Amino acid sequence: MIQTFFNVEIIAAAWPIVLSGLLNTILLSLIVVPLGLFGGLLLALLASIRHPLVRWPLMAWVDFFRAFPPLVLLILLFAGLPFAGLELGGFACVAIAFFLNTGAYYGEIFRAGIDSVPAGQVEAGRSTGLSRLQAMTYIILPQAVRNVLPDLLSNTLEVVKLTSLGSVVAVPELLYQARQAQSLTYNPTPIVVAAIIYFLMLWPLVRLLSRLENRAFAGRR
């Protein structure tokens, strides 16, 4: 059983391939998470504009990309755009698909955080001479982020896990490279190693998230 699922010799032989996939997964995460955060923050700031011409199209945008499966969106971009004369690599398609999908989720989280801050604090900031943008930057956003930090971390965990979808469009991330190593060694050990790496990479964030949630719960008691 051990020789089948955790063969040390195969781990040593496949490690360079798996390691390259791990580095690509980290790189992909460092790209898609900030993109999603930026897109979400932009959507949340636009949502603070109450004009119907802004609010209703924004709601439609967010609802559409939250409801649209990220895997389907990724395949649509990768396989469909070439028919429109725009051919992007797998890496770029993953970045765009995740920007659209995760940005919508981050946007709702940021919006909830902004709405949790009492409106009187904006008025107090404006009374001291701050512009609306300055009040949002220095008063509202810091409190909003603190209020929804567990949700932001939870969504970030999901985004990192979703990077494994890149294997569908041949992005050489961790899962794709592990499958390549498996096909070369005819052994499931590389897949097991990839699973262990995912766990070790994400478990500290899970524990941090649990501590933040417990602290937030204790603060409300």
- Identify the residue with better confidence: 137 or 113: 113
What is the pLDDT confidence band of residue 122, given thresholds at 50, 70 and 90? confident
Q: Which of 173, 25, 165, 23 is nearest to 97 (CA)?
A: 165
Residue 103's pLDDT is: 93
Q: What is the mean pLDDT of the chain?
A: 87
Amino acid letter, 79? A
Question: Tens digits of per-residue pLDDT, 142-201?
Answer: 889 988 888 898 899 889 988 889 888 888 889 889 998 888 888 888 898 999 999 998
| Angle ∠(45,33,25) on CA atoms, nearest 5 | 170
Q: What predicted TM-score, i.e. pTM, was given to this entire model?
A: 0.86
- Identify the residue with better confidence: 112 or 184: 112
Percent of the chain with pLDDT over 70: 95
What is residue 49's DSSP assignment? -
Residue 217's pLDDT is: 58
CA dist 65 and 16 (Å) reads 37
Q: Spell out the domains of the chain, with CATH numbers in brackets.
A: 2-220 (1.10.3720.10)
Compute the average pLDDT of residues 116-145. 82
Q: Which of 193, 169, 218 is nearest to 12 (CA)?
A: 193
| Angle ∠(39,212,193) on CA atoms, nearest 5 | 75
pLDDT of 220 higher than 60: no
- Identify the residue with better confidence: 65 or 221: 65
